Structure 1
Amino acid sequence: MAGGLLLTAAGCSSEPEGNSGATPTADPVDVVVTPDDGAAEVRPDLPVTVEVSGGTITEVEVERTDLDESAEPPEESDAVTGTLNEEGTEWVSDWTLPPGGDFTVRAVVEDQAGEATEVTSSFSTLEAVEGRRLELESNFPVSGDVVGVGMPIIVNFDLPVQNKAAVEAAMEVVSDKPAQGAWNWFGDRTAVFRTEEYWEPYQEVTVNMRLAGVQASEGVYGIENYQLNFEVGRSQISEIDNDTHRMVVTRDGEQIQDFPISNGDGSTRAYTTTTGVHLTMLKFESMVMDSATVGVPEGHPDYYRLDVDYAVQISSSGEFTHAAPWNTDLGVANRSHGCTNMSTEDARWFYENSSMGDPVIITGTDRELEVDNGWGYWQRSWDEWLSHSTLGEADRTDEPGSPGSPHGTA
């Protein structure tokens, strides 16, 4: 197979008048499978290809042959799929292969007379060595979650990623309803997928992270594929006006709540509520708020330590919505340390009715929410977000595949 396999098949046709009676033959079919038959320690990020001349490819199957027969059947996301060109002369695998595996390629080709022949080729992939195996450390959301329409997909890796384009291309996002999005990186270990507009509500989203075999950095390979399935629920968007001291909650386009609130008093930057598009993050029925966690240590004149109920996190700089029964200026003035104070009843409603990823839009302050403060990813315009993608191309979530290629080059 290394040099191509020459196949010759007899063709069938009616004999023209006056012919000597010899049966015409089709031109030979030349088939080349890469990697070569018998190849060992093949880089798992290199593509599997089948190329023919003098005929067409009708079927290609790549099977992993080293797995224990008693083991669980491979997941659908582990299947080695490929794309055949329009001429039917070249097949290329879509994704990378798991490291340390044995594989057999079976291809069926037809010559110009329509006679089919099957060829096979086998090879093994390079092992991923200890300490250089890229794995998923965490992700938000997790499978089974029901999230708000602003929810990004956040993937945290256990090792730094230098080859970001390949890793982006290996992560396919599929949604029931059409959208386009792109990945951005925050450091070398965190990739975030955000859509151009909020997700359409009431739909399923699947993320196929085909990381097995992707070369994330020189000599560092992903060792496992992952699949994430979550649901986008109702659309709930809350708008907080710092000047009117009100929070208006809209669900599926209809206003359902109008709460009096009190934001940060603005006496310092730390005590100024940030303006911008926040997302609800974690929720705590009760918690201790200690200013030391946001840079105001014990002993400082502005130090505080409070027990609060029904806290909903909206940034990483200490901003929550929460019950503040001690604040008598709800709906009147801003008196907090930067959080959005609410009555106990209103805070409990918001706590019970918030899903992770609900947008909370705050206006009217002179402190802008940073894009990497919590989940402030909507602070970038779509054009900015797309320009920060390594691939620089939008991914259509209603179409298979992703922009770019996860494959490396030989």
Structure 2
Amino acid sequence: MIAPRSWSTGRKLAVLGAVCALAAGGGAFAAAGPLAHASFASEATSPERSTPGLAFPVVAPAELDVSPADDAKPVNPAAPVTLKVSNGRIERAALTSGSGDAVEGTLSAGRSSWTASEPLKFNTRYAFTFSVVDAAGRKTNNTRSFSTVSAANEADAAIYPLDGMKVGVAQPLQITFSEPVLNRDAVEKAIKITSSSGQAGDFHWFSDTMVRYRPEVFWTANSTITMDMQLFGVDLGKGQIGNFNKLVTVHIGDKKLAVADAAAHTFSISINDQPAGSWPVTMGDQRFPSARGYLVLMEKHRYDHFVAASIGLKPGDPANYGELDVEYATRLTPSGEYIHQALDSALPYIGNTNVSHGCIGMTADRAAWVFNNMTSGDVVQVVNTEGDFANFDDGFGDWNIPWPQYAN
């Protein structure tokens, strides 16, 4: 009687052990059935995992490449503002200034990148806010901020001739910067100058703030010059950043060239290489000889007021003329050389003696002709004078510099 009961108990235990082993061992059996995944949360609502789960693979987190870096300063306002996402997509992106102004941007077709499509402002703090969703649907919100270059490092420039002006064939193009330029090559590359005649030219730096451009020979008469300046964001050096882009168109008129001969006391004018007249003048005397070389006309005043003290003359000096008014004054140099109607006291000397303080004196009708028919950028070549060339900053003396030296 004892043996059968022992066999029955052992048989039951063996069967139970087999069932337990089956339940724990077979993978297909364990995962089968409608409630098999009930204990696993959705990946989109769970934290990112670095190891595989029992049923789901790891979803790589979204990776961000943001420029400028968070809290960057000073940022060049021409620098690109971009957001690039790997393993995810951009749901929303917004770039705004501290005053709330929005900067437009472009979202790529696959929503993997966003790029600002407008330039930034100087001296401004920006907030870059965006939402990114990874491949599992997890959303991340971010806000970065940065500040652009301060107003103290904002570089401007004055340009001459002005847009739309009509000037003579000898007019150099001049750009005067508000800050010193150290990166001259970068500035020159940012300025494209073209001529309707196909003339090429070159830059010449007269100082660290002023550069001019001219061709080897005078501009072609009745041509058009275009200056395309893309200087916004250009680093001038020492953190000074250009603040503008500008397109300037300059129209060149007829070729008007005068030759003023201090020995012959004549002023001869040609238009487009054809003689247009010659008449007597008086020029700078021995103490104040007229400057030699090419002098480019600068500005005109129907009436002007001359003051002897402005050229260093003091009371008691025999050459001191005090103050006087002149008519038909066409400026040749900032230092005070003009073409103008001669004073009554100088009229007897016109055509035979030089008695001026460097100016070219004419009769009223001839001075009026120059005033009415010549303009900025037209040129006078002064010959047979004992005067020196005008200094480079005393008007536009560019044509007195040999071309190999100018273009170097």
Q: 1:315 aligns with which of 326, 333, 339?
A: 333
Cα separation, 1, equivalents of 2:282 and 2:371: 17
Q: 1:224-235 counterparts in 2 under 5 A?
A: 224-235=244-255
Cα separation, 1, equivalents of 2:200 and 2:386: 32
The 1:124–1:384 alpha-carbon spacing in structure 2 relative to 1, beyond 3 Å, is farther
Does structure 2 conserve the Cα–Cα contact (< 8 Å) formed by 1:196 and 1:382? yes
Q: 1:18-167 counterparts in 2 under 5 A?
A: 37-40=65-68, 43=76, 127-136=148-157, 138-167=158-187
Cα separation, 2, equivalents of 1:125 and 1:330: 70
Q: 1:22-65: per-residue Cα shift (whole Å, max 9, x none)?
A: xxxxxxxxxxxxxx9521156567799xxxxxxxxxxxxxxxx8
Cα separation, 1, equivalents of 2:121 and 2:183: 17
Cα separation, 2, equivalents of 1:264 and 1:174: 39
Q: 1:372-406: per-residue Cα shift (whole Å, max 9, x none)?
A: 3211111101101011xxxxxxxxxxxxxxxxxxx
Cα separation, 2, equivalents of 1:372 and 1:325: 28
Give the secondary structure class of the aligned counterpart of 1:165: helix
Give the secondary structure class of the aligned counterpart of 1:293: helix
Q: 1:223-258: per-residue Cα shift (whole Å, max 9, x none)?
A: 211221110011100011111111110001111111
Residue 269 of structure 2 corresponds to residue 241 of structure 1: no
Give the secondary structure class of the aligned counterpart of 2:257: strand
Larger helix percent:
2
Count of residues in correspondence between the two structures:
290
Does structure 2 conserve the Cα–Cα contact (< 8 Å) formed by 1:39 and 1:124? no
Structure 1 counterpart of 2:293: 276
Structure 2 counterpart of 1:324: 342
Residue 395 of structure 2 corresponds to residue 378 of structure 1: no
Residue 276 of structure 2 corresponds to residue 256 of structure 1: yes
Structure 2 counterpart of 1:300: 317
Structure 2 counterpart of 1:362: 382
The alignment's C-alpha RMSD in Å is: 3.0
1:378 alignment partner AA: W
1:310 alignment partner AA: Y
The 1:43–1:337 alpha-carbon spacing in structure 2 relative to 1, beyond 3 Å, is closer
Instruction: Please report the TM-score for the alignment, with normalisation by the length of structure 2.
Output: 0.65
Give 1:98 shift.
6.1
Cα separation, 2, equivalents of 1:208 and 1:66: 30
Give the secondary structure class of the aligned counterpart of 1:346: helix
Instruction: Please report the TM-score for the alignment, with normalisation by the length of structure 1.
Output: 0.65
Give the secondary structure class of the aligned counterpart of 1:257: strand
Give the secondary structure class of the aligned counterpart of 1:200: coil
Q: 1:307-340: per-residue Cα shift (whole Å, max 9, x none)?
A: 1000111112211000014221111111111100
1:197 alignment partner AA: V
Give the secondary structure class of the aligned counterpart of 1:177: coil
Cα separation, 2, equivalents of 1:242 and 1:359: 16
Cα separation, 1, equivalents of 2:258 and 2:349: 20
Q: 1:140-219 counterparts in 2 under 5 A?
A: 140-219=160-239
Deviates most, 163-172 or 337-346: 163-172
Structure 1 counterpart of 2:14: none
Give 1:66 shift.
7.3
Does structure 2 conserve the Cα–Cα contact (< 8 Å) formed by 1:287 and 1:307? yes
1:39 alignment partner AA: S
1:230 alignment partner AA: V
Give 1:289 shift.
1.2
Give the secondary structure class of the aligned counterpart of 2:159: strand
Deviates most, 378-387 or 187-196: 187-196
Cα separation, 2, equivalents of 1:256 and 1:346: 12
Identical counterparts, % of pairs = 28
2:319 alignment partner AA: D
The 1:172–1:278 alpha-carbon spacing in structure 2 relative to 1, beyond 3 Å, is same
Does structure 2 conserve the Cα–Cα contact (< 8 Å) formed by 1:371 and 1:380? no
Q: 1:344-389: per-residue Cα shift (whole Å, max 9, x none)?
A: 11000001111101111000012221333211111101101011xx
Name the larger-Rg structure.
2
The 1:39–1:311 alpha-carbon spacing in structure 2 relative to 1, beyond 3 Å, is same
Cα separation, 2, equivalents of 1:98 and 1:342: 56
Q: 1:264-307: per-residue Cα shift (whole Å, max 9, x none)?
A: 111x2xx1101101100011101111121112134433211221
2:325 alignment partner AA: D
Residue 371 of structure 2 corresponds to residue 343 of structure 1: no
Cα separation, 2, equivalents of 1:126 and 1:212: 17
Structure 1 counterpart of 2:112: none
Does structure 1 conserve the Cα–Cα contact (< 8 Å) formed by 2:76 and 2:149? no
The 1:99–1:235 alpha-carbon spacing in structure 2 relative to 1, beyond 3 Å, is same
Q: Which runs of 5+ in 1 are unaligned?
A: 1-35, 49-64, 74-96, 103-122, 388-410
Cα separation, 2, equivalents of 1:160 and 1:295: 31
Does structure 2 conserve the Cα–Cα contact (< 8 Å) formed by 1:325 and 1:344? no
1:317 alignment partner AA: S
Does structure 1 conserve the Cα–Cα contact (< 8 Å) formed by 2:299 and 2:376? yes
1:380 alignment partner AA: I
